[in-house]
Amino acid sequence: MKMRVLFHNNCFDGACSASLFTKFHRECIGGDWEYDYKGLHHKAGVQFDEADFNGDENAIVDFKYANSPKVTWWFDHHQSAFLTEADHEQFLRDTSGKKFFDSARISCTGFIADVATATFGFDTHGLEDLLHWADIIDGAKFESAHAAVELAEPALKLMMAIEGTSDPAFIPRLIPLLTSQPLATTLQENFVQAEVQPRLEKHHRDITLLRSRAASDRGVITFDITDQPTEGYNKFIPYYLLPEGVYVVGLSKSSFRTKISVGTNPWTTVDTDKLANIAAICERYGGGGHPRVGAISVPVDQVYEARRIAAEVTAELKALDQRNQLPTD
């Protein structure tokens, strides 16, 4: 039988969630299963293709709720997990015992681990490093911007490769290794190094590019690199370059979307209760995320629309300067 596992693509927590779910399912549910992986990207409009649910059973981890009857398992922790109120109501009516949601959780990986342990008797021994770094990375709990950008730890180099790869086979090949051996061992795999080394070079180019494009005004860092298509960059670079910034609104373009990234500086000294809810802002434009970080996607050919949205979001965040006394330049 085939278990199709759909996960948040180009995301460390998404890949770790897929790996942890696989290990849990194999050890606690059992059966003769083949595990198959499919990455999902947030995009403008419809999020799911019914053809993606082609397993005997289908699981979604670290991604929005799908109301398809073909979806058997679901775990998510994003505030904007439900596309419609009807989806939320359907979830609340579910009695399968296989769909779980908690927007208060830092990482979906940690959430799956706790649910699997408490509900199914899953043993997480040996996964401490994975669980630690999933929370650090997805919760932006780095000790400093330097730690987040200089990538000294094996987990951070893996994060860089996962976030930046454009090879559709790379993350599915990586997923089983994340829970079967130490992260430092996984980093040394030849196919991983083949992805990491070029990504390190790109990472340094990204720093140079953002240094030339990013500016900070009234607590908001902005940049537009839509003329330099990229499949991913380290989202902490703006805070590394401009540590006085409280928020960032960045425009980038990939092969399938134009993206407005909106985030909060994890190291800001502004009181938490004075910070904007980024997920709520992004949801107004069809996006979503967490209270401190989110994104909005528009079709790849609608850069002008993305710039219009980015300008509105930027103006809203800059207005907080008047009320919360955010830094000015």
Q: Are residues 163 and 34 in the same domain?
A: yes
Query: For position 45, what pLDDT does the model report?
Result: 59
Q: Are residues 294 and 179 in the same domain?
A: no
The amino acid sitting at 198 is: P
Instruction: Locate all alpha helices (DSSP H) within the chain, ordered by sequence.
Output: 12-24, 85-93, 108-120, 128-138, 145-150, 154-164, 170-178, 183-187, 190-213, 237-241, 278-283, 303-324
CATH number, domain containing residue 179: 3.90.1640
Domain boundary among 157, 190, 223: 190
Q: Is 9 within a domain?
A: yes
Q: Is 305 within a domain?
A: yes
Q: What is the pLDDT along the chain (329 residues), one digit of tens a residue?
A: 999 999 999 999 999 999 999 999 999 998 899 999 999 987 665 678 889 999 999 999 999 999 999 999 999 999 889 988 999 999 999 999 999 999 999 999 999 999 999 999 999 999 999 999 999 999 889 999 999 999 999 999 999 999 989 899 999 999 999 999 999 999 999 999 999 999 999 999 999 999 999 999 999 999 999 998 777 789 999 999 999 999 999 999 988 889 999 999 999 999 989 999 999 999 999 998 889 999 999 998 999 999 999 999 999 999 986 555 544 44
Closest CA to 218 of 322, 321, 323, 311: 321
- Total domains in the chain come to 2
Alpha carbon of 43 to those of 59, 259, 265: distances in Å?
A: 20, 9, 24
Q: Are residues 183 and 250 in the same domain?
A: no
Backbone angles phi, psi at 243, to 5 degrees: -65, -15
Query: For position 325, what pLDDT does the model report?
Result: 52
Closest CA to 108 of 236, 5, 235, 7: 7
pTM of this structure: 0.81
Q: Is 202 within a domain?
A: no
